[in-house]
A = this chain, B = another copy of it.
Amino acid sequence: MNRWLRLSLIVTAAFFVPVVMAAAQTMKKASALPAVSPETAACVECHTLLNPGLVEDWKKSRHARVTPRDALGKPTIQRRLSAEKIAPGLQGVAVGCYECHGLNPSSQRDTFEHFGTKINTIVSPRDCSTCHPVEADQYARSKKAFAIPNLEKNAVYSLLVSTVTNTKSFKNGVLTGVGSSSNAKNETCYACHGTEVKVKGMKKVSTAMLGDVEMPNLTNMPNQGVGRINPDGSLGSCAACHPRHSFSIEVARKPYTCAQCHVEPDVPAWNVYKESKHGNIFFSKERAWDFDAVPWAVGRDFSAPTCAACHMSLVTTPDGDAIRQRSHDFGDRLWLRIFGLVYSHPQPKAGSTWVIRNKENLPLPTAFTGEPASGFLIDKKEQQERRAGMERLCVACHGSNWAGAHFDKFHATVREADAMVLASTGVMSEAWGRKLVDNANPFDEVLEQKWVTQWLVNANSLRYSSAMGGPDHATFKHGWWGLTKTLEEMREFLKVGKEK
């Protein structure tokens, strides 16, 4: 063969090889999914017909595309699962229906016989911990995990819940509270906090394809609250942030997820973020960012933080050096709790806040006049360390001067917000003391509702605004305008004295 010809072919090949390989790669990406277990294959066969959207969602997920064995083979910093070992039977197949819905059948009260296989409907954090034990452990310690008892076993908070959701009846000139139904609670506070899911025997569900099918009768569902009490006793719902069958890290890293619960008027984190410079950049540039990369490198994968970046995610430099480690104990990077109930205070030491007692022996993190229930809250040293840790994140993009000055300003603002709440509490106390308002229930009269608005809406708005830099929420959107206006309404209501 002619030398020149061979050269020509080699030159041609040299150009083609990458093109061809890229094409093959693409095809492989699309088609070469790992094997599924026979049980999962059986699930998919029926449920593709019954619930096509659900099955397609899973098919696009990483669970369908990567086996635990391949996942375990990655360098530590790139791993999305934290188990050191995984049962051999689970390692070589896709993480399919059965691999999750068939786990731990003996400890699940919602396990049932389903066409010859033991299935449980609710996949709980305990099930997820099979591959993600570190995340499950961290989560189990967080305030989120205890979101139900923190509301229900706290006599003050649960009175607020039942007062707000108390259905009324008006007869013969009298307005009467009929009571707060579990439905009303599930639709409001417990929608985010979570419900207690119990199994009340079995029920028949009519289906188009298979006639009547027997299934466990689950109470208080549907619910995806962060502290859901599952039939296996575990706390939480991973689907709260990694929704449905895509189990997506991308979705959890986007602020839209946090925005389901952390919204105004009471927790305006999302609203403030939207008006912040961080939010401005996020909305403008998110399409160019990579929300799926592990690790998540500042500057390379994203250029402004979302909620996850500051509060949870493993964040690295583009060279792969960790700036912060991943944490699913939400709140463990925070030193101050600004969701003021009723004043800001150092973060609680433990996730179960209902055990806290203030000096008045109430289950509140501060006294009525603001003093923190220090024994239950993190100490100064821990506060300083957490602040320093947060500043390390800020400094990835800002000068240390900037970061430090930002939090100094934040602390000053939180003090002023607390002062405005204290003044409002003073007026409120005066009203109770003079028996102008009945303190039997501190949440149910007009003046009391104004007082609740002060700390739950206006002061929270000011605090969050400062924390994340969205000034409108400090100014006319609740914030200072709300605090000043409502305090004057309270004063006017009571006709207490005034000096300027």
Binding site for B on A (CB under 8 A): 1-2, 4-5, 8-9, 11-12, 15-16, 19-20, 49-57, 59-60, 121, 163-171, 173-178, 181, 183-184, 186-189, 191-192, 203, 205-207, 215, 218, 221-222, 224, 243-244, 246, 248, 250-251, 254, 256-257, 259-261, 263-266, 274-277, 279-281, 283-285, 287, 297-300, 303-304, 317-319, 395-402, 404-406, 409, 412-413, 416, 419-420, 422-424, 426-427, 430, 441, 444-446, 449, 456-457, 462, 465-466, 469-472, 474-477, 479-481, 484-485, 487-489, 491-492, 496-500
Q: How far is the CB of A33 from chain B (nearest CB, A)?
A: 15
Q: Are B173 and A402 in contact (CB under 8 A)?
A: no
Question: Given A183-B412, A401-B205, A481-B164, are A192 and B427 neighbors across the interface (CB < 8 Å)?
Answer: no
Nearest chain B residue, comparing its CB with the CB of A49:
B317
Q: Are A497 and B243 in contact (CB under 8 A)?
A: no
Task: Please measure, in the bound complex, the distance between the C-alpha atom of A181 and the C-alpha atom of B466, giving whole angstroms.
Answer: 15
Q: Are B426 and A170 in contact (CB under 8 A)?
A: yes
Q: Are A476 and B317 in contact (CB under 8 A)?
A: no
Nearest chain B residue, comparing its CB with the CB of A393:
B53
Task: Please measure, in the bound complex, the distance between the C-alpha atom of A20 and the C-alpha atom of B19, giving whole angstroms.
Answer: 11
Question: Given A256-B279, A472-B263, are A487 and B168 neighbors across the interface (CB < 8 Å)?
Answer: yes
Q: Are A280 and B299 in contact (CB under 8 A)?
A: no
Chain B residue numbers with a CB within 8 Å of A266 are 475-476
Q: How far is the CB of A154 from chain B (nearest CB, A)?
A: 17
- Which residue from B11, B319, B445, B471 sits with its C-beta under 8 Å from A492? B445
Chain B residue numbers with a CB within 8 Å of A304 are 244
Nearest chain B residue, comparing its CB with the CB of A475:
B188
A-B contact pairs, 29 of them (CB 8 A): A5-B8, A8-B12, A15-B16, A51-B399, A52-B298, A52-B319, A53-B298, A54-B398, A55-B299, A56-B299, A164-B481, A170-B422, A170-B424, A174-B497, A174-B499, A175-B497, A177-B500, A188-B471, A191-B475, A192-B471, A205-B404, A207-B400, A222-B405, A250-B284, A250-B285, A256-B279, A444-B500, A445-B492, A449-B488
Chain B residue numbers with a CB within 8 Å of A424 are 170
Chain B residue numbers with a CB within 8 Å of A485 are 449
Nearest chain B residue, comparing its CB with the CB of A285:
B251
Question: Given A11-B12, A181-B412, A471-B188, are A173 and B398 neighbors across the interface (CB < 8 Å)?
Answer: no
Question: Given A164-B484, A174-B499, A280-B251, are A265 and B476 neighbors across the interface (CB < 8 Å)?
Answer: yes
Q: Are B11 and A222 in contact (CB under 8 A)?
A: no
Q: How far is the CB of A284 from chain B (nearest CB, A)?
A: 4
Q: Are B51 and A398 in contact (CB under 8 A)?
A: yes
Task: Please measure, in the bound complex, the distance between the C-alpha atom of A189 and the C-alpha atom of B479, giving whole angstroms.
Answer: 12
Question: Given A259-B280, A404-B205, are A15 and B20 neighbors across the interface (CB < 8 Å)?
Answer: yes
Task: Please measure, in the bound complex, the distance between the C-alpha atom of A11 and the C-alpha atom of B203, giving whole angstroms.
Answer: 63
Chain B residue numbers with a CB within 8 Å of A246 are 303
Chain B residue numbers with a CB within 8 Å of A480 are 164-165, 184, 188
Nearest chain B residue, comparing its CB with the CB of A315:
B53
Chain B residue numbers with a CB within 8 Å of A51 are 395-399
Chain B residue numbers with a CB within 8 Å of A416 are 167, 181, 183-184
Q: How far is the CB of A298 from chain B (nearest CB, A)?
A: 4
Q: List 5 other contacts, CB 8 Å, given A52-B297, A52-B319, A256-B279.
A: A5-B8, A53-B396, A54-B398, A263-B477, A446-B492
Task: Please measure, in the bound complex, the distance between the C-alpha atom of A192 and the C-alpha atom of B470, giving whole angstroms.
Answer: 10
Q: Are A446 and B488 in contact (CB under 8 A)?
A: yes
Chain B residue numbers with a CB within 8 Å of A206 are 400
- Which residue from B167, B402, B474 sits with its C-beta under 8 Å from A191? B474
Chain B residue numbers with a CB within 8 Å of A487 are 168, 175
- Which residue from B5, B165, B166 sits with its C-beta under 8 Å from A5? B5
Q: Are A400 and B57 in contact (CB under 8 A)?
A: no
Chain B residue numbers with a CB within 8 Å of A496 are 170, 173-175
Task: Please measure, in the bound complex, the distance between the C-alpha atom of A426 and the C-alpha atom of B172, giving whole angstroms.
Answer: 9
- Which residue from B15, B260, B489 sits with its C-beta under 8 Å from A276? B260
Task: Please measure, in the bound complex, the distance between the C-alpha atom of A298 and the C-alpha atom of B244, giving whole angstroms.
Answer: 14
Chain B residue numbers with a CB within 8 Å of A257 are 280, 284
Q: How far is the CB of A189 from chain B (nearest CB, A)?
A: 6
Chain B residue numbers with a CB within 8 Å of A222 are 398, 402, 405-406, 409
Of A176, A221, A248, A303, most B-chain CB atoms within 10 Å: A303
Task: Please measure, in the bound complex, the distance between the C-alpha atom of A84 and the C-alpha atom of B171, giving whole angstroms.
Answer: 61
Q: How far is the CB of A214 from chain B (nearest CB, A)?
A: 11
